[in-house]
Amino acid sequence: METSLVTHGRVLRFATVGVLNTGIYYGLYLVLRLTVPYLVAHVCAFLLAMVGSYFLNCYFTFRTHPSWRSFWLFPLSYVVNLVVSTVGLFVLVQHLGMDERLAAVPAAAIAIPFTFLMAQFALTGGQREQPRSGPASRPSEEMTA
């Protein structure tokens, strides 16, 4: 039961970071758009938000220290999200007849569990969170400046 509560807490923290990260992306996009073309603003905001998401997910969601290994693996969770949401969108629109203006929302929702699992693997090596307080530590892999 306690492990289930820990997992639910991790999922809730992941969702919170996702909402916050969306706001960070959008704010960066709006600011950058004032000085660069919109597609450049989008890519820059996306990359900056992804780096921010990495650190938020390390410290807040998964309670682990950043490492170079996890930093380079973390973008795979974005690839998983893109693939699953794209396939979901296609199926919802082309095969189930859903309005394409509405289908993006459930397609994105379908991708969340897959994205969570990939992010968890990238940031923790697949280890489950133990019910305890304080961040986990893997000092041999920590990022140093």
In the chain, where are the structural domains located?
A: 2-128
Q: Sorting pLDDT into bands at 50, 70 and 90, what band is 104?
A: confident
In this prediction, residue 131 carries a pLDDT of: 46
Is the Cβ–Cβ distance between 17 and 56 less than 8 Å? yes
| Mean pLDDT confidence for 59-66 | 94
- Tokens 């991708």 label which residue? 111
Closest CA to 71 of 83, 57, 54: 54
70-95: average pLDDT:
94
What percent of the chain shows pLDDT beyond 90? Answer: 72
Closest C-alpha among 103, 77, 109, 105 to residue 90 = 103
pTM above 0.85, yes or no: no
Whether residue 72 is predicted with pLDDT greater than 60 in this model: the reply is: yes
Q: Tell me, what's the pLDDT at 136?
A: 47
* Average pLDDT value for the chain: 86
User: Does position 121 have pLDDT exceeding 60, yes or no?
Assistant: yes
Q: Is 6 a residue whose pLDDT tops 70? A: no
Complete DSSP assignment for the chain: -HHHHHHHHHHHHHHHHHHHHHHHHHHHHHHHTTTS-HHHHHHHHHHHHHHHHHHHIIIIIS----BHHHHHHTHHHHHHHHHHHHHHHHIIIIIT---HHHHHHHHHHHHHHHHHHHHHHHHHTTPPPPS-SS----GGGB---
